[in-house]
Amino acid sequence: MQNSRRIILGYNSGVAFLITAFAAFMASGANAAEPIPWQMNFQPAATPVMEKIIDFHNLLLTIQVGIVVLVLGLMLYIIIKFNSKSNPEPSKTTHNTPLEVIWTVIPIVILIVLAVPSMKLLFFMDKAPNPEMTLKITGHQWYWSYQYPDNGDFEFDSNIIPDDEIKPGQRRLLEVDNQVVLPVNTEIRLLMTSEDVIHNWAIPAFGVKMDTVPGRTNESWIKVTKPGTYYGQCSELCGVNHGFMPVAVKVVSKDEFKKWAAEAKKEFAKAKNTPVKVVKMKSPAQAQLR
Ligand SMILES: [Cu+2]
């Protein structure tokens, strides 16, 4: 994608931009679960919720395009047919009852057509009917901690990998020291809260973006259908390091998850009493703030 950016800067032509944008749009479907340069569409869905969100988005888009085309067509028709040259003597009509009924009823019908699937989706996203396990997520300034109450009740912190420790191939600002590991094809209840201010646990490929509020537990759910590593970020302004508390979830087979959980329980039991690691990010924005 670096090349395409250079094309645009080099030729600075609208056509090159359109070609690049289209290429990025087509390429965005092939990527796993992270933002890519020039991405024009959603990240590919990894959960039933995100699949439904994308379907609903496409429905909205279809209706919107229909409305735009209809209104544009009517305007062109009026401009051509009723301009002062072709229609020198305008009609003096001020009311047309059937027309007024139609232009009131059609928008109502459109709103109902939108409201029904929208509510259905909201209820579907709300809760997992039969969760097989729970993951508890706590937001902190500025890292996440995760607890596995059904798999040995261990807990660990997940901190960003700062720029000076990032290894080749790792994603800057998205990689963490301890990834959340979860089993594939499992209905997982997510319980979220915060220790200090409001954060927001969000992963685009999962269709989850939920506030973590101090003193309150919010619930969401996921059922990841494809193994892989999925990235997200805190999505609620939570202070100076808001941009530096990414979410990284590694989804593995059920067997691999069991093995990982057994090991993690031992590993994180030892780490329980160690002080919280404070990660210092050196970004231009922070340098200015100091
Ligand atoms: Cu935050």
Quote the pLDDT of residue 93: 86
Q: Is residue 23 part of a domain?
A: no
pLDDT in tens, 37-78: 888 889 999 999 999 999 999 999 999 999 999 999 999 999
Give the number of domains in the chain: 2
Q: Are strands 188-194 and 133-140 parallel, antiparallel or unpaired?
A: parallel
- Ligand 1: distance of its center to the CA of 212 in Å? 9
Is 35 part of a structural domain of the chain? no
Domain that holds residue 182: 133-289
Give the pLDDT confidence score for residue 268 in this predicted structure.
87
234 CA to middle of ligand 1, Å? 5
Provide mean pLDDT across the span 91-110: 93
- Give the residue from 111, 126, 141 where a domain finishes: 126
Mark whether 83 and 112 lie in a shared domain: yes
- Give the least confident one: 4-8, 46-50, 85-89, 236-240: 4-8
Residues 151, 172, single domain; the answer is: yes
159 and 231 belong to one structural domain: yes
190 with 64, same domain: the answer is no
- Domain membership flag for residue 17: no
Ligand 1 geometric centre to CA of 34 (Å): 19
Note the pTM of the prediction, 2 decimals: 0.77
94 C-alpha vs ligand 1 centroid, how far in Å? 57
> What average pLDDT does the structure give for the chain?
85
In DSSP notation, 187-240 reads: -EEEEEEESSS-EEEEEGGGTEEEEE-BT--EEEEE---S-EEEEEEE-S--ST
Q: How far is the CA of 12 from the centre of ligand 1 (A)?
A: 38
Task: Say yes or no: 117 and 236 in one domain.
Answer: no
Ligand 1 centre distance from Cα of residue 9 (Å):
35
- Same domain for 107 and 209, yes or no, is no
d(CA 229, CA 17): 31
Note whether 117 and 244 are same-domain residues: no
Claim to verify: residue 246 and residue 267 sit in the same structural domain: yes
Q: Does residue 13 register a pLDDT over 60?
A: no
What tokens appear for 96 in the block? 């047309």
Same-domain status, 246 and 157: yes
In a domain, 184, yes or no: yes
Cα–ligand 1 centroid distance for 200 (angstroms)? 6
* pLDDT tens-digit series, residues 192-223: 999 999 999 999 999 999 999 999 999 999 99
